Amino acid sequence: MNINSYEFSEVYDILMKDVPYEKWVKLIDKLMNKKRDLLEIGCGTGELTKILGNKNYKITAVDSSENMLVKAYEKLRTMPNISIMKGDGRKFSIDKKFDGVLSSCDVVNYMLKKEDLHNFLKNSYEVLNKDGIIIFDLSSYSKLKNTLGNNIFINEEEGVFYSWENRFDERNDLLEMTLNFFVKEKSMYRRITEEQIQRAYKIEEVVKELNLIGFKDIRLFDNYKDVEPDEKSERIVFSAARR
């Protein structure tokens, strides 16, 4: 997926600094309904994990990148209610049941095959307690195709200059991204190049898979707000329960 994940983990939090995690937690809290035992798939550097941990969630935080987990460990090592482990959201196996499974920040978009999505949802269903809930988000089809697709973005954040070049493959519903970061070090800049691919899923595809696996009470939200998404929504949040 990327060509230098260690260096990318260095700039990840800068890239994500405007994400309103505290607002996201309000909806997560409401959907979890006072249950606190949570499996987080794709925890990244642990920013959302830490906020949830401070709200007394007991969290098993999983990510496929060792370098992201190193950053997460730096933030979470003093929190006894959080454990971290390496794992792949498409094929994880954990000998434990949870009240909730959480996956945020486009983790599902990185599951490039329908089979990957199916396996993630099926595995999540298997580790949920009765009445447990899955909560996950994805960038909408419209966002990947029309907002990000075939566009170039240039920005600078906290001494990091970056360009973001995208190409949308409509035949395969894939967004191919090339990110070039230039990190200032004294009088010079160090270049970090990251290549990623995301899949654009349509809402009906995801709902079909949830139904197929047996999830009930499927609900959709616009960007972690307690309102339904519409055609302009850029982030779709799904929740569903195991009954």
Please tell me the pTM assigned to this model. Answer: 0.92
Supply the pLDDT for residue 72.
94
Report pLDDT for 191: 83
User: Looking at residue 4, what is its pLDDT?
Assistant: 44
Class of domain 5-139+201-241: alpha beta
CATH architecture of 142-199: Single Sheet (2.20)
| CA geometry: angle 28, 46, 83, nearest 5 deg | 90
The per-residue pLDDT for 241 is: 98
What is the pLDDT, as a whole number, of residue 12?
A: 74
Tell me if 5-139+201-241 shares its fold with 142-199: no
Residue owning tokens 């700039």:
11
Q: Each residue of 128-185: pLDDT tens digit? A: 999 999 999 999 999 999 999 999 999 887 777 889 999 999 999 999 999 888 877 7
Name every residue whose Cβ is closer than 8 Å to that of residue 237 and which is 6 or more positions away in sequence: 27, 135, 136, 137, 220, 221, 222, 223, 224
Residue 32's nearest CA partner among 81, 102, 92, 84 is 102
Inter-residue contact 24 to 47 (CB < 8 Å): no
pLDDT at 81: 98
Q: For the chain, which ranges sit under pLDDT 50? A: 1-6
Domain boundaries defined on the chain: 5-139+201-241, 142-199
